[in-house]
Structure formats: C-alpha cells, structure tokens
Amino acid sequence: MKITFIAADGTTTEVEAKEGDSVMHTAVQNDVDGIIGECGGSMMCATCHCYVDEAWAAAVGGQEDGESDLLDCAASEVKPTSRLSCQIRLRRELDGLVIHLPESQL
C-alpha cells in the first residue's frame, strides 16, 4: 500500500506502507520530513500532528479519545482534519492515503 505525504511547501513524498502500521511509524521509517514522533507513538506529544486530506477524512475517521487534548499543544494550526498520525492505523481501504504535513512540529 502507498501513502503520499505533502509537505507545507508542496513537496510530495510517496512511500510504501504496511497494513497495521501507523501513519507516524511509516513516516519515521521512511525519513519523511515533518513527522517527528518524539514519544514513539504512545500519544504523549503532538509531534506527529498531520492533516488528513479532505478526500480521505471519512475513510480515516475522527479523532480518538484524548487526541484533541494533545492537538491543543500542537505547534501548528489545528484544523478540522487534524490528527495525530500515531493514531491512524493503516488498513487496506486506506491504500493511496494522502497526508498533509504542518509547517512545524516544534
């Protein structure tokens, strides 16, 4: 499966992803600039903040419990499609997912 990451400057990076992995893990494993994941995916920071492309928002689903509290601490603007990428688990129907990255994580 594939995920496309779009940086704040418009740079596009397409990577291979494995079903069951998180979007954050996939980004970190593929050296995608813009996703830090300081806490390693334990939902204790907001350094994996991302914006789900609007075309994919319904398929990805809404924020998990506690996600909005951490997003309040995000370095960049929080939007309706904001998610912590550590909380988005990849499944077959998300093949081709498009994720937009914020200007900053820190």
What are the pLDDT digits (tens) for 47-67? 999 999 999 999 999 998 899
Question: Could you tell me which of 5, 2, 3 has the C-alpha nearest to residue 100?
Answer: 5
User: Residue 106: what pLDDT?
Assistant: 85
Q: Radius of gyration of the chain from Cα atoms?
A: 12
Cβ(84)–Cβ(43) below 8 Å: yes
Domains of the chain: 2-100 (3.10.20.30)
* Residue 99: both structure tokens together: 């994720």
Cβ(90)–Cβ(17) below 8 Å: yes
Amino acid type, 44: M
> Is residue 106 helix, strand or coil?
coil
pLDDT tens for each residue of 36-47: 999 999 999 999
Measure the CA–CA gap between 3 and 43, rounded to whole angstroms: 21
